[in-house]
């Protein structure tokens, strides 16, 4: 298991090094930045420090403030906001339902990380973002956590399906679906998390562990490839179905969050928790 990325302690130390010659306002909380930047590399952290200084300068701050640091972190993680981006009212509405779908499913499912922020302001190359951050530095991911990730990843498309109808779904899920496909394939091919026959088997052989000599021809048969495809398809279908069950059981909350997004464009963790506090997980979405 690759645990080579810096952990929370490492990240705090690295951030301190990079901010050492920068005029940091009093009270800026590098530790909480370290906490929420799990998964960042050393280079990412250096980048955040530099962007903070640039943003502070642009804002005519003499010292780098907490909000400069936060903006810098989000720029590095997702790309800059594009507030000027013209979006039609129709596209905005689609985006609001789509992001609300991700957030609602992620909020309701028991093994998903909590929602950190939802926004319908385009950032970098995306129309909107729903952001999940794990509460602590996690080393292992379990099968049920993967399944909740899959379901929340499909939450946007499924919200469109329910609101617009199945024939009106859009290209708005254009990057969610490849992510879900990649995750599902990873579970089956690399994590031995397929069902029955494929369980505990992986298809990415560690050649260096072979005794005596390497396998010359690594390629599995077309029938095995089909078995893998079937597992992936079944994971995606199950995830879509769980997302559908969650949203249908909580239509009121989908509307509430959508409305808030159209009103405020960005909704943070606290407010999401509050708005969706009555949402319930339907039995149908439980893993048996």
Q: Given the complex with a second copy, which of 38 and 64 has the nearer CB atom? A: 38
Query: For residue 268, what are the β-bridge partners?
Result: 117
Q: Given the complex with a second copy, which of 77 and 275 has the nearer CB atom? A: 77
State how far the Cα of 15 lies from the Cα of 18, in Å rounded to an integer. Answer: 5
Strands of the sheet containing 115-119, edge to edge, are 129-132, 115-119, 266-268
For residue 219, the minimal CB distance to a second copy (Å) is 7
| Residue found by looking up tokens 């769980």 in the block | 242
Q: Given the complex with a second copy, which of 25 and 35 has the nearer CB atom? A: 35
Terminal alpha carbon distance of the chain = 28
State how far the Cα of 117 lies from the Cα of 282, in Å rounded to an integer. Answer: 24
Q: Given the complex with a second copy, which of 21 and 213 has the nearer CB atom? A: 213
Residue pair 30/48 in contact (Cβ under 8 Å)? The answer is no
For residue 25, the minimal CB distance to a second copy (Å) is 27
For residue 124, the minimal CB distance to a second copy (Å) is 9
Catalytic residue IDs? 99
The CA-atom distances, in angstroms, between 285 and each of 43, 99, 102, 109 are 40, 20, 15, 8
- Give the residue from 104, 155, 94 showing the smallest Cα distance to 127: 94
Q: Given the complex with a second copy, which of 186 and 271 has the nearer CB atom? A: 186
For residue 274, the minimal CB distance to a second copy (Å) is 27
**Residue 191 burial by Cβ neighbours in a 10 Å radius (0-12, 13-18, 19+):** middle
Residue pair 261/99 in contact (Cβ under 8 Å)? The answer is yes
For residue 152, the minimal CB distance to a second copy (Å) is 13
């Amino acid at each position: 298991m690759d645990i080579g990325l810096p952990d929370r302690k490492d990240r705090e130390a690295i951030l301190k090094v990079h901010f050492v010659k920068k005029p940091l306002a009093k009270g800026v909380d590098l530790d909480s930045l370290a906490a929420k930047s799990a998964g960042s590399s050393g280079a990412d952290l250096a980048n955040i420090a530099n962007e903070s200084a640039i943003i502070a300068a642009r804002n005519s701050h003499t010292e780098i403030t907490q909000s400069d640091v936060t903006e810098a972190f989000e720029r590095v993680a997702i790309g800059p906001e594009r507030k000027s981006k013209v979006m039609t009212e129709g596209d905005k509405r689609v985006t609001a339902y789509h992001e609300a779908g991700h957030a609602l499913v992620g909020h309701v499912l028991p093994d998903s990380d909590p929602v950190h922020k939802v926004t319908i302001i385009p950032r970098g190359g995306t129309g909107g973002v729903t952001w999940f951050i794990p509460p602590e530095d996690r080393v292992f991911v379990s099968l049920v956590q993967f399944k909740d990730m899959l379901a929340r990843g499909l939450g946007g498309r499924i919200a469109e399906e329910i609101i617009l109808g199945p024939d009106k779904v859009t290209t708005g899920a254009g990057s969610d679906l490849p992510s879900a496909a990649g995750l599902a394939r990873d579970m089956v091919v690399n994590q031995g998390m397929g069902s029955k026959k494929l369980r505990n088997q992986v298809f990415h052989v560690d050649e260096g562990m072979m005794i005596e000599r390497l396998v010359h021809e690594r390629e599995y048969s077309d029938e095995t490839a089909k078995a893998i495809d079937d597992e992936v398809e079944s994971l995606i279908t199950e995830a879509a179905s769980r997302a559908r069950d969650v949203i249908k059981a909580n239509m009121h909350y989908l509307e509430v969050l959508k409305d808030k997004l159209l009103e405020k464009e960005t909704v943070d963790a606290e407010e999401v928790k509050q708005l969706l506090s009555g949402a319930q997980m339907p039995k149908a979405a439980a893993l048996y």
